[in-house]
Amino acid sequence: MVDYWRQGSVAVIAVNNPPVNALSYNVRVGLYNNLDKAANDRDVLAVVICGKGRTFPVGADIHEFGQIPKEPWITDVGRKIESLGKPVIAAIHGTGLGGGLEIALFCHYRIALPNARVGLPEVLIGLLPAGGGAQLLPRLAGIQVAMEMITTGRQLPASEAAKYNIIDKVVSGDIVKEGIEFALRVQNKPFQDKILRYRSPHGKDSLQPITEAVLRKIKMRSRGFYAPVWCVRSIANSVKLPFEEGLAQNRIMFQQMQLSGQAKALQYAFFAERSISKWKLPCGGNFATAVPRKIKTISVIGAGTMGTGITVALLSAGFPVLLVEQNKRFLMKGVQTVQSLLEGGVKRRKFTAEQAKMASSSLTTTVDLQALNSVDLVIEAVFETLSLKEDIFSKLDKICKPEAILCSNTSYLNIDKIAASTRRPDKVVGTHFFSPAHIMRLMENIYGCKTSPETVATVMDLGKRIGKVPVLVGTCPGFCANRMNRPQSEEALFLVEEGAQPEQIDQVLEDFGMPMGPFKVRDLAGGDIGWRSRKDAALHLGLTLSYDLQFFNGERYCSLADKLCELGRFGQKTGSGWYSYDKPGSKQLSIDEDVTKLIQNHRDSLGIKPRKITTQEIQERFLFSGINEGFKILEEGIAARPEDIDIIWLYGFGFPRHYGGPMFYASQIGLKRVYDRICHYHELFPYSSHWMPSKLLQKLSIQEVPIGQWAELHSKL
Ligand code: NAI
């Protein structure tokens, strides 16, 4: 696992633990023993530590997560380096992360290739860099840089790392050869001042103001997430304590953090993210056997909100796109939006002006569906009307080449119905992007009963190639994401009807860690779309939406959102919604007395006496209603595993990652408690069928089955 060879006076110690040279127990032993070997060889005057294959070590072995690491620890390897009596050079290519960077920091010199990246990402799995990182980095790069890097887990490119002295030299060519050359140059020179433990941290006199500023940022960025705060403490230890004592304190904190629910949740999310690519269809097709089709040309139909965002996502990943609209006016508007989104990407430094120009030149347009006769894949993003989508798909079926794949960006409609309008249902699939589609990373892919494994493999592969997080689910109204979100939005309205204020609900859920409360989300998305579809649904049932409507289709109903829309309060875009805004389109919001009065009048007209609603009730009714739906989604096999649901929530709705996702959150609270509370609300609100407890949840709650066994047990229950 660790190779050793000599080239003249230089010993090379190369970690050889594919695929990422993780610092597992055997690697640490190998490093330790080979350092001894170099120390004892009198002809060795300098040592180079590097990684074989594609990278320098990237940190701990994920298979050892959650266990107490066996000795030698990284700090033991580090002490060996420091006391070797010969200069040690870390030669970094690929990524030097976590324990990998810590070992490099114990070395006397660090060189790196220009495209190498370094970082201490432990915070992202709820931990701190206890292998010396929090003690060494402030001594090398200063407190300010260490705080930023360690509390965010950000990876720095070699050039930026060199600016902060983390890298001594950026080199090009063969990293081992460069390492040896560097070693030959420094082998007989003094290097004691390069041992970081003897330095004092830069900026130590400003520890307090730096700490306060960083804590303020952390509070804004990641409410309720403890690891960054502990990271701040661990860095402060580098100033407050002697080196070895700081290391010992940080190790104690690390062990406490390892046991915390948040670290477990983050590590669960880490593995969940890796598991979603291992999809399986009920027909037996799966990721391992299905081969994706080669996609070179893509067409997007509909240049509205979603179509333009999807186009930008495809263009910026290098795909040529043929954009289709129903007429020239809409097409021109769409092209303008695409251009301004590309310009926005340049401003956000997502890509360079040159790349944006290239992307833009790969865009072609048409108002004639016939032009789609040679494309490999089509993504339809027209209005959410089944008959319109059926019409388009039946036309596409006739126009497109037989092997072309036809995707719909529908958010609710049945994929099987759309597929039935074609003679190629095996090549029809849902690709549900999230708004804004050029930014949001979730791609909820939906298979129908006839979708082929090859089609699924193709859209899963496409998702990855355009930088999205593709998750596969089955078809049902709203699929996984919107189906779970629906009861939550309804509960938010009911809570207001019963006595809560919209801003109170938003605050509670933002304090929980959601990026935005449900009323701010409604204002951002625009209330008019939902209002129109509710009016359509009512019409379909021979009803009209009236203000005193308390039941709709046998379900509890709250007409408050309709009342706002009736007043033209569609949200941010009209300058007023649940909040009022400076001007249309502005994000600057304030609480609106008119809305408060409207809510009060609504309650009065229905004879509802407002009651005090607690934080606990808001959290439970919002989160548990969605979780109950999540268990039904599992029960029906719409999602194959709880991990799929959780990743959908982490990437589609910004659910706080330190809770793992709604399903993991439920497992941490305890299924029995969650089930009991759902039964309680079911008793209180019998006219909201979303409170009907999931049978799967009931069964799993009896034995408190751990989340890793839900999917397996479900198939046996
Ligand atoms: P939109 O109203 O902004 O855009 C739809 C576009 O389709 C319009 O520009 C319209 O002119 C065009 N169109 C209509 N009929 C056409 C035809 N026959 N040929 C060519 N173009 C035609 O709608 P939006 O919001 O982009 O939604 C599109 C689809 O994406 C819907 O199915 C929606 O449910 C889904 N979706 C929407 C999300 C959102 O947040 N807006 C999120 C995820 C999915």
CA-to-CA separations, 532 to 87, 478, 492, 577, in angstroms, rounded: 72, 17, 20, 16
Segment 361-396, tens digit of pLDDT: 999 999 999 999 999 999 999 998 899 999 999 999
- Considering the entire predicted model, what is its pTM? 0.91
**Residue 525 CA, closest ligand 1 atom number:** 40
Segment 294-353, tens digit of pLDDT: 999 999 999 999 999 999 999 999 999 999 999 999 999 999 999 999 999 999 988 899
Segment 507-525, tens digit of pLDDT: 999 999 999 999 999 999 8
- What is the CA(385)–ligand 1 centre distance, in A? 9
Instruction: Return the closest-CA partner of residue 410 out of 385, 435, 440.
Output: 385
pLDDT of residue 91: 98
pLDDT of residue 295: 97
pLDDT confidence band for 704 (50 / 70 / 90): confident
Instruction: Answer whether 384 contacts ligand 1 (Cβ < 6 A).
Output: yes
Does 65 have pLDDT greater than 80?
no
Does 113 have pLDDT greater than 90?
yes
- Given ligand 1 and candidates 399, 411, 418, 440, which is best to mutate, with the most ligand atoms within 8 Å of its CB? 411
pLDDT of residue 359: 94
pLDDT of residue 536: 81
Quick check: is 503 catalytic? no
Mean pLDDT, residues 619-626: 98
pLDDT of residue 61: 84
- What is the CA(303)–ligand 1 centre distance, in A? 7
Does 31 have pLDDT greater than 80?
yes
Does 546 have pLDDT greater than 80?
no
- The DSSP letter of residue 576 is B
- Given ligand 1 and candidates 382, 412, 483, 536, which is best to mutate, with the most ligand atoms within 8 Å of its CB? 382
pLDDT of residue 458: 98
Does 198 have pLDDT greater than 80?
yes
Sign of CA dihedral 111, 117, 120, 122: negative
Quick check: is 555 catalytic? no
Does 717 have pLDDT greater than 90?
no
Could you say which of 64, 71, 82, 122 is catalytic? 122
- The DSSP letter of residue 633 is H
Cα–Cα distance for residue pair 487/310, rounded to 1 Å: 28
Q: Which of 214-223, 431-440, 463-472, 577-586 has the lowest mean pLDDT?
A: 214-223
State the Cα angle at 388 between 522 and 395, rounded to 5°. Answer: 140
CB contact at 8 A, 6 and 42: no
Does 142 have pLDDT greater than 70?
yes
pLDDT confidence band for 553 (50 / 70 / 90): confident
CB contact at 8 A, 2 and 27: yes
Segment 226-268, tens digit of pLDDT: 999 999 999 999 999 999 999 999 999 999 999 999 999 999 9
- What is the CA(302)–ligand 1 centre distance, in A? 6
CB contact at 8 A, 371 and 399: no
Instruction: Answer whether 307 contacts ligand 1 (Cβ < 6 A).
Output: yes
pLDDT of residue 581: 97
Cα–Cα distance for residue pair 91/21, rounded to 1 Å: 14
- All structural domains of the chain, each given as residue ranges with its CATH number in brackets, are 2-259 (3.90.226.10), 298-473 (3.40.50.720), 500-606 (1.10.1040.10), 615-716 (1.10.1040.10)
Instruction: Answer whether 330 contacts ligand 1 (Cβ < 6 A).
Output: yes
Q: What is the mean pLDDT of the chain?
A: 95
Instruction: Answer whether 366 contacts ligand 1 (Cβ < 6 A).
Output: no
Instruction: Return the closest-CA partner of residue 169 out of 108, 239, 240.
Output: 108
Does 460 have pLDDT greater than 90?
yes
pLDDT of residue 387: 94
Share of the chain above pLDDT 90, in %: 89
Instruction: Return the closest-CA partner of residue 91 out of 112, 67, 76, 70.
Output: 112
Adjacent-strand bridge partners of 119? 97
